[in-house]
Chains A and B, each alone.
Chain A
């Protein structure tokens, strides 16, 4: 309790508090501005250093490129990379063609035929497997011919029937090898 004081002490106290608040505001403003400017300056310095470092790295990379261009190994690697880029389209087309041939091959049901090995090489199918009878084999070749495959009869081999165990059952089967070609015009898009 301050007691009575008829001097305007409340107003003076209010002014004193207002003065303190203004000083506090001014100090906090100055501190805030200083901190912001300091951080901005530090950020600018860091950014400048980073840009200089990046520029130096780019210069070093360019220098290395210039030095590597005169090295034979680099030239060979560069040529190989260009060759790979060039061949890639051809490989890609061959891969697409092989996949289309596989789809076309699978569309022919091998009734009485057991295929052991199927190889796609040099635009040809080399098939080896077992057939139950010559009839089954002929029917299958006819179906392949209808599907667009051309059997190379001079390269085909046909063996006599022999007993063998296939899928747990004993049966007489003929071993065969067959080479098929597929004309480019017969390939379905």
Chain B
């Protein structure tokens, strides 16, 4: 008599270029239907292209594309353009707490960035690498076993990405104008890797194909990025 309401959050990935706008909705896990992602491609009209003066398409194009696709997701993930993204790697000393780590990274970022730190959004990931170049060269009086132990010890590194805050705010504003909520901004390789992992673990995902009207508009990697963006909204 009563149907259980599906409250599982669904994410929407958005990717656009000069030809049009691509949307991908994350698969609904646990649904009665087979697991699949939904794709939609909306080609920009000539009028929209002529009216577009900024780097962002008109918000009504996004709203219209979403209405035509029938997607219900309202939380959005988008990829960071390569030209806006700055990437750094900083060595870390072990034993730092979260606040201390963030303060250390911010202090490292200040001289490395071309903008003031207050106008930048940044995020980091910690990596443990076995890079021996980070270790001081072994002095002659140091025993061999100590050198071997120091080289075997993993060094901690922080990979930091930074993007201008103005661009992120413009992106969030663009989504809000279309009635969507931007929750994730990530580099395209991270979204692509997520999609690759999903395809490896899902039997139904390999059968998916982009819509035929989008053939040639997006590369295979861009489709993977789009799918990964949709997956990453609620499944990082």
Task: Point out residues on A near B: beta carbons under 8 Å.
Answer: 1-10
Closest to B122 in A: A6
List residues of chain A with CB within 8 A of the CB of B125: 1, 3-4
Q: Which of B199-233 contact A (CB under 8 A)?
A: 232
Q: Does B184 contact A (CB under 8 A)?
A: yes
Q: How many A-B residue pairs have CB under 8 A?
A: 41
Give 23 pairs: A residue, B residue, CB < 8 Å, sorted on A.
Answer: A1-B125, A2-B236, A3-B125, A3-B186, A3-B190, A3-B194, A3-B232, A3-B236, A4-B123, A4-B186, A5-B123, A5-B184, A6-B121, A6-B123, A6-B163, A6-B168, A6-B186, A7-B121, A7-B172, A7-B183, A7-B185, A9-B123, A9-B183
CB distance from B83 to the nearest CB of A (A): 15
Q: Is the CB of B121 within 8 A of A8?
A: yes
Query: At the interface, is chain B mostly helix, strand, loop or mixed?
Result: strand
Task: Point out residues on B near A: beta carbons under 8 Å.
Answer: 80, 121-123, 125, 161, 163, 168, 172, 182-187, 190, 194, 232, 236
Of the residues A1, A2, A4, contact of B161 by C-beta under 8 Å: A4
Q: A1-B125, A2-B236 are in contact. Are A7 and B182 (CB under 8 A)?
A: yes
Top 7 nearest A-B pairs (CB, nearest first) are A6-B185, A2-B236, A6-B121, A4-B123, A4-B186, A6-B163, A7-B185
List residues of chain A with CB within 8 A of the CB of B182: 7
List residues of chain B with CB within 8 A of the CB of A7: 121, 168, 172, 182-185
Closest to A6 in B: B185
CB distance from B185 to the nearest CB of A (A): 4
A1 to B186, CA, bound (A): 14
Q: Is the CB of A5 within 8 A of B236?
A: yes
Interface centre among A3, A4, A7 (most CB of B within 10 A): A4
CB distance from A84 to the nearest CB of B (A): 85
A1 to B194, CA, bound (A): 12
Of the residues A2, A4, A8, A9, contact of B187 by C-beta under 8 Å: A4
List residues of chain B with CB within 8 A of the CB of A4: 123, 125, 161, 186-187, 190
